[in-house]
Amino acid sequence: SIIDWSDRATCVLFGDGAGAAVLGAANGDGRGLLSVYLRADGSLGDLLQRPAGGARCPLTPELLATRAHLVRMEGPEVFKSAVRSMCEASLEALQRAGLERGDVDLLVPHQANIRIIEATARYAGIPMEKVFINIDRYGNMSSASIPVALDEAVESGRVGPGDRVLMVGFGAGFTWGSAVVRL
């Protein structure tokens, strides 16, 4: 496990799951991927990290004993950086797609926590009724959260053919990005 169950700042946040979505360039009828925006800033990497256990720092018995393989997070700083970066990514992806905030049929954000989701929607100018949320059922599934939420939104009829969906997320490293797709 990479979760420190004695660290209340991280242990209650994470769920587990897997998800994937196949996206392609917009076709003749305008359906498909309309824009993408991706960024990274390694100087923020210490905000959300797992110091050991990856290719850069393979796990050893000594590192395991120091608990260096567990997720570490600077919560308040992650919150500020996540909201700022997801708003930036949302607005840039919409601009690249030639769309306005009001053109979004559904925002599918990374399901990190409800406060980050609400703040991102507020600062991006997208009403909460246009935001898909499933964190209450699964927790933060990390990279699986957006594809799982998109699948649920489609399967539940929340969005359908022709709808414009804005997906946005952030992650360790510190990375962030967004994509606009017309279903």
Q: What is the pLDDT of residues 27-56, one digit of tens each?
A: 888 999 999 999 999 999 888 888 888 888
Q: Is 135 left (phi over 0), alpha (psi -120 to 50) or beta?
A: alpha
180 band by pLDDT with thresholds 50, 70 and 90 = very high
18 or 82, which is more confident?
Answer: 82
Q: Which of 16, 51, 11 is nearest to 143 (CA)?
A: 16
The ranges assigned to domains in the chain are: 32-49+72-182
Q: What is the DSSP letter of 131?
A: B
Name the class of domain 32-49+72-182.
Answer: alpha beta
Per-residue model confidence as pLDDT tens digits over 94-110: 999 999 999 999 999 99
pLDDT at 7 exceeding the cut of 60: yes
Query: What is the per-residue pLDDT for 5?
Result: 64
Omega prior to 174 cis, within 30 of 0: yes
Per-residue model confidence as pLDDT tens digits over 148-172: 999 999 999 999 999 999 999 999 8
Give the chain's radius of gyration (CA, Å): 17
pTM equals: 0.86
Q: Report the sign of the C-alpha dihedral through residues 107, 110, 111, 116, in that order.
A: negative
Alpha helices, DSSP H only, in the chain? 61-65, 75-97, 114-124, 135-138, 145-155
Q: Do residues 121 and 131 make contact, with C-beta atoms less than 8 angstroms apart?
A: yes
CB atoms near residue 141 (< 10 Å): 21
